[in-house]
Chains A and B, each alone.
Chain A
């Protein structure tokens, strides 16, 4: 490729020296490189603002003077390249090709030279000399980037001026270099990106096919390159410029070399790589930053996972240590006190009014209130992880494991949240971009044993299995996790299909966290959750209360009991009578309700309940009951969250149905196996 800027000047246009006309400068650059600052310094009060002909994009131009020489500066729109992707890019290249500035001054950001030099790679293809102003060298220096203007100048073959435009440093020098180039005092022999060897032949043929037919001022090199990289505008124009036979051949060549699109741009990046390697010095490799040192551990395939599990363990420990007691205190002292006070105040009111307000409204609102400590600790922990920059490493390390069940690593975040409460866990699925992966996460989340289910487990296992509570509880939790993996694999394989996800993550630097930011973030999120969840939970709690309380005086005569008896034929497969079925059904409002339901049904406190249950329920039935309770349909708050997140009842019902099927299936398998193992008799 060679478009010699010195030899190119349109016929009839004298050089600036010949007629003493102002030197025309096109000021180019990517957005946010300080181009406007340079333009303002150069042109001062002489700026004129209008629109580019036929466009809505603003055109700014003005005059400058240096040592008696006059300049006319046109501020080109900020563009990343000169390919016809946007109106700004059209304007910039049309200006250069049609208005023919004497020199193009390109401003680049010293701290982002790799990004900025792409535009230069394109400018150098055009037959106009270029001067490069490397701005913000002070910022780059603060980031540890040392930039050598002389080396870059030698490598590029064009003048390079280091600048700090915000302090008006280097701007005059830039203008002087531009004048010298325009007057021919400085010779530009730019090093340009090479075209890939596999496309050189076709490039040469394209040039030959087009060279005689191109309008004046359009270099054949540039037109051929633009065709190869799939420039829409040039492709359309080429069809009108060329005779039919030539265009047909050009079209054939382009079809046969479609891969040249990436090769042309790729060659520019190879060229950029050579330039920055020569002229930029970043912190030495041996001088490893804190982020590098931490990442050696945090992103290590094995140690990263160990660290991750440690962090999760710490979050769990914090949650149970800090939030657990507060949750219990809120339940016992606040919710129960309010309920008792309200019950006393309503002692003269009809029983149903008291029941509705105390057992329905207060109980429902109480559940929301007791969520708060768990949510607060989780949000504080997540805020901390995010603010330190560790969150991206979590997703990165987990990804390889989550992929086995068709999930992205970020699914781990909501699934992890599920151990606290399934509601924010379902909401947390929003961090997953892929809809299939998000739906899969939403369907799997309710299988994660939430704190309420763990509470039920901790309470019930010793009642049913006083001899081996730890073993049974551990087995149930592990079983739950195995079920999650199995369901995930099945859904991924048969419902969603394997989606081959590929992500590239930018890892932020580690930061010292800001406590104020984290606390405010956690508080605002908790408040947002309360506002949204409260209404749904309270309303549904009231509905369930009605089912439990009517039409008879006792639970035994309630509609819920009737439903339980209706379901007894199904329960038989799992060894569950209607009482255990009703207790399971009551967990729909909130998982911990099943404990209270058993107490009410059997008419006993916690101590007496254990003896009654061991006498009335066989170990096989008890095991099946616990398995079903661990896997049974999501609680009402989770259902509401699923509806909100999926935006459809179809997926909400699918989630409920899936859990119901899995719970019944696993309950039946466990019961039948336990019965076969001789645990089917009371006291076995």
Chain B
């Protein structure tokens, strides 16, 4: 299940948790739980957390970190997905 999720997530471009839940036939909550599992294993990371220096950014409050979560594959995740 996690491998399939990683492969789906690694296809490139933006995928939504909804698309992934439809592709894998599980709930969105399940997808979010599995993304967190992949994050604990260092295969994905939360990309939308504001970086240092964003605290005084004029568009900081409307940037992704505040509105929605974005997961991105790490190098290890890309390697695992390519196997």
A contact residues vs B (CB 8 Å cutoff)? 80-81, 85, 112-115, 118, 259, 261-263, 265-267, 269-270, 272-273, 276, 282, 295, 299, 375, 379, 382-383, 385-386, 389, 391-392, 395-396, 399-400, 403, 408-410, 413-414, 417, 424, 427-428, 430-431, 433-434, 500-508, 521, 524-526, 528-529, 532
Contacts and interface: CB of A to CB of B under 8 A. Distances in A.
Nearest to B49: A433
A386 B60 CA distance: 11
B32 A505 contact: no
Interface string B1-34: 1111010011111111110100000110110111
A266 B58 contact: no
21 contacts: A112-B29, A265-B41, A269-B30, A272-B33, A391-B67, A399-B13, A400-B13, A403-B13, A414-B59, A427-B58, A433-B48, A502-B10, A502-B73, A502-B78, A504-B15, A506-B16, A506-B17, A506-B68, A506-B71, A507-B16, A524-B61
Given A115-B29, A502-B9, 16 more contacts: A114-B27, A265-B37, A269-B30, A269-B33, A273-B30, A379-B58, A389-B68, A391-B64, A392-B68, A395-B64, A408-B14, A414-B59, A430-B63, A500-B78, A504-B9, A504-B16
Contact of A269 (B1, B14, B56, B63): B1
Contact of A114 (B29, B63, B64, B70): B29
Nearest to A428: B59
B33 A114 contact: yes
B62 A383 contact: yes
Nearest to B69: A506
B27 A269 contact: no
B34 to A, nearest CB: 6
Nearest to A258: B83
A379 B59 CA distance: 8
Contacts of A113: 29
Nearest to B72: A503
Nearest to A531: B56
A373 to B, nearest CB: 15
Contact of A115 (B33, B71, B73): B33
Q: Which of B14, B15, B32, B72 has the most A CB atoms < 10 Å from its CB?
A: B14
Interface residues of B, number: 56
Contacts of B4: 266
B80 A501 contact: no
A361 B9 CA distance: 53
A269 B34 contact: yes
A524 to B, nearest CB: 8
A409 B14 contact: yes
A284 B26 CA distance: 14
A502 B13 contact: yes
B80 A262 contact: yes
Interface of B: 1-4, 6, 9-18, 20, 26-27, 29-30, 32-37, 40-41, 44, 47-48, 50-51, 53-54, 56-73, 78, 80, 83
B61 to A, nearest CB: 5
Nearest to A230: B41
A433 B14 contact: no
A392 B41 contact: no
A433 B40 contact: no
B17 to A, nearest CB: 5
B64 A500 contact: no
Given A430-B54, A430-B59, A269 B2 contact: yes
A640 to B, nearest CB: 14
A503 B14 contact: yes
Interface centre among A282, A430, A526 (most CB of B within 10 A): A430
Contacts of A506: 16-17, 32, 68-71
A276 B40 contact: no
Nearest to A113: B29
B26 A273 contact: yes
A298 to B, nearest CB: 11
A521 B10 CA distance: 35
Contacts of A262: 2-3, 6, 41, 80
A542 B10 CA distance: 52
Contacts of A508: 67-68
A525 B48 CA distance: 20
B21 to A, nearest CB: 11
A263 B1 CA distance: 7
A410 B64 CA distance: 8
B36 A115 contact: yes
A449 B56 CA distance: 26
Contact of B70 (A385, A414, A417, A505): A505
A499 to B, nearest CB: 10
A118 to B, nearest CB: 7
Contacts of B56: 528, 532
A80 B40 contact: yes
B56 to A, nearest CB: 6
B58 A273 contact: no
Contacts of B59: 379, 382, 413-414, 417, 424, 427-428, 430-431, 525
